[in-house]
Homo-oligomer: A and B are copies of this chain.
Amino acid sequence: MNTIETLEQKEKKYTKEDFTSDQEVRWCPGCGDYSILAQMRRLLPELGVKKENVVFVSGIGCSSRFPYYMDTYGLHGIHGRAPALASGIKLANPDLTVFVITGDGDALSIGGNHFIHLCRRNIDVTVLLFNNRIYGLTKGQYSPTSERGKITKSSPYGSLEEPFNPVKMALAAGATFVARSMDRDPKHLEATLLEAARHKGTSFVEIYQNCNIFNDGAFEKYTNIKTRFDNVVYLKNEQEYRFGRENDKHLFWDGHRFRVEEWKATEEPLTHNTDNLPVSMEFALAELSELEDFPVPVGVFRKRQAETYDALLTKQIEEVKKSKGQGDLQKLLESGNTWHVD
């Protein structure tokens, strides 16, 4: 049962200024984080929750300074542990709308375990992963999403490891909402974040975010007007996987793999289905971002309804109360064998 008093009931309309705190924003000029902040401030009035019921929780990293800039409740945590804080916040008070703001290092390096457990538990929080494929705050070391061979301060001869695919990890761990968006596609970003925030359960959004200081241009291919159409396929529910400058290509499913083909209308078009895509296609879609010669899927991969941990906990408490009655302290202390001394 959700007892949030919605805005409608309260008849008050927020603007983005209502969500702007008095703290100066401290990111490098040109950083992709600004766009994400702007979209968040824009969508919250749409979301229809009272601002005092909103909590932003973060770890440590450039991205994790985000809560300071939102005029809501906020907790700038410690490195990698935002999901732990967020879990406690949401479970202690299920009426709150909780966002987790994290970076690729924060969520997938030191915080990888908390991240996958959060997804598994399906606690109703929304996770925004600012993926700039680099450690920004510590001045540019490769991260678990950096491409192999990356030359950074800590890998002067090239990194030796394959990156994680965050979408794949979230899918495998069981997140019920999984999406990808980009700092430089503000409309899509805003819509995706809004959809994520509205979803009940753990919502995960990977956001391609440009760090113009330490990893400039990492997503240029997908954001540059010249190349983006050929390199991005937008996932839209119940629509085909069409892309290309002229919308002239699509992803064809050969029963095992996707292939890029010229688009032809068919009688039984292959359409995207966020609610019920078979696991085979989910992971095949997720894999595309790792492959050469394929567009990167942007949009919602999965959106499944499932009971949330917080709702189940509330339910369990109610059930136990129903069967045992509301606890009585004195009885509790006197449980077990007792005896009297006179």
Residues of A147-167 at the interface with B, using a CB-CB cut-off of 8 Å, are 157-158, 160-165
Contacts A171-B172, A173-B169 known; A120 to B255 CB distance under 8 Å?
A: no
| Assembly stoichiometry (copies) | 2
Chain B residues lying within 8 Å of A319, measured Cβ to Cβ, are 157
With CB as the reference atom, state the residue of chain B lying closest to A161.
B121
Instruction: List B contacts of A117 (CB < 8 A).
Output: 109, 112, 144
A15 contacts chain B at the CB level, 8 A cutoff: no
A168 interfacial by beta-carbon distance below 8 Å = yes
Give the distance in Å from the alpha carbon of A312 to the alpha carbon of B164 in the complex. Answer: 18
Contact partner, A280, options B161, B171, B257, B320, Cβ 8 Å:
B257
Question: Which residues on the B side are within 8 Å of A161 (C-beta)?
Answer: 120-122, 309
Interface contact B158-A316, CB-CB below 8 Å: yes
- Which residues of the partner chain B approach A30 to less than 8 Å between Cβ atoms? none
Chain B residue with Cβ nearest A291: B279
Does B172 lie within 8 Å of A313, measured CB to CB? Answer: no
| Interface 1/0 per residue, A237-263 and B, CB below 8 Å | 000000000000000010111000000
CA distance A149 to B17 in the complex (A): 45
Chain A interface, DSSP helix/strand/loop, else mixed: helix
A174 within 8 A of B: yes
Bound CA span A52–B178, Å: 47
A87 → B minimal CB distance (Å): 11
Closest 8 CB pairs of A and B: A280-B280, A172-B172, A113-B113, A112-B113, A255-B255, A283-B283, A256-B278, A160-B312
A153 to chain B: closest CB distance in Å? 16
Q: Which residues of B contact A144 (CB under 8 A)?
A: 117, 120
Additional A-B contact list (19), CB under 8 Å, known A110-B113, A256-B280: A112-B113, A112-B116, A112-B117, A120-B162, A121-B160, A157-B316, A157-B319, A160-B313, A164-B173, A168-B172, A169-B172, A169-B173, A171-B172, A172-B173, A255-B255, A256-B278, A257-B278, A280-B281, A280-B284
Chain B proximity mask over A55-75: 1 for CB below 8 Å, otherwise 0: 000000000000000000000
Q: Does A18 contact B (CB under 8 A)?
A: no
Instruction: Determine whether A275 belongs to the interface, using a CB cutoff of 8 Å to chain B.
Output: no
